[in-house]
Amino acid sequence: MPKTLDFILSETELNQIAKAVRSDKRPEVRQRAMGLRLLHEGTPPKEVAKLMSVSQPTVYDWHHRWQRGGVEELANRPKSGRPPKADAAYVARVEEIVEQDPQTLGHQFTVWTVTRLRRHMEQETGVALGQTQFKALLKANDFVYRRPKHELKNLQDAEARHAAEGWLAELKKEPKRVRSTYSLWTKAV
C-alpha cells in the first residue's frame, strides 16, 4: 500500500506560504503556494488540481518541491534552449554606439532609432537580431528611448533674447486689465 502524504504545515511553514501567496512577485510561486495552503486546510489533491486547473500529479510535484527547498523551489526552473545571440560584449558595444553621434560613424542621419541602431549593430558585429528581439534586449538592459531636444539658442541673438526675457518678465508683473470673455465666471478686478 502506498504511503500517505502528510500535507499539514508547521506554523512557520504556514507563515512562509502565506507570505508567498500575498507578496511574491512570481505568479507561479503564488499559485503553487495557494495550492499548498489548500492541501494544508484539508482539501484533497484531486480537488486542488481541479481548482487550480492542473493535473493531480502536478499538485504532488508542488508538495515534493516544497519539501525539498521551500518557497524558492516553487519557482520555475531555468529552461534549456538556444543560447542568446547577443552577449555582454554586444550589449556593451550598444552602450558605446548609443552615446555617439551617428554621423561620426558615417551615417547620414543624426538620431538613433531602434531600426537604425539594430542595422548598424548587424553590420558591425554580424549578429542579426529581429526587431522584437532587439527591443527586448534594449528593455532588459534598461535602455530608454527619448525624443531629442532641439535647441536653437546658438542661432539666436543673445542681446535680443535678453531684452525679450526682460520684457516678458515685466508683462507678467502687470495686473490684468481686461476681463476674460472665455468664461461665464469672472472675478472683478
- CA-CA-CA-CA torsion sign (86, 87, 91, 94): negative
The per-residue pLDDT for range 108-124, each reduced to its tens digit, is 988 899 999 999 999 99
The per-residue pLDDT for range 126-135, each reduced to its tens digit, is 999 999 999 9
Q: Which of 32-36, 53-57, 92-96, 156-160 has the lowest mean pLDDT?
A: 156-160
What is the Cα gyration radius of the chain? 31
Give the integer Cα–Cα distance in Å for 25 and 71.
12
CA 76 to chain CA mean position, Å? 19
Nearest to 116 by CA among 148, 108, 125: 108
Neighbours of 50 (CB within 10 A): 14
Which pLDDT score is estimated for 74? Answer: 94
Whole-model pTM: value is: 0.48
Which pLDDT score is estimated for 150? Answer: 74
Task: Tell the residue number behind the cell numbers 504556514, with chain if given.
Answer: 14
Q: In this model, does residue 83 exceed pLDDT 80?
A: yes
Which pLDDT score is estimated for 183? Answer: 53
The per-residue pLDDT for range 134-184, each reduced to its tens digit, is 999 999 898 887 777 777 777 788 888 889 888 888 888 877 766 655 555
74 φ/ψ sector (left φ>0, alpha ψ -120 to 50, else beta):
alpha
Which pLDDT score is estimated for 97? Answer: 93
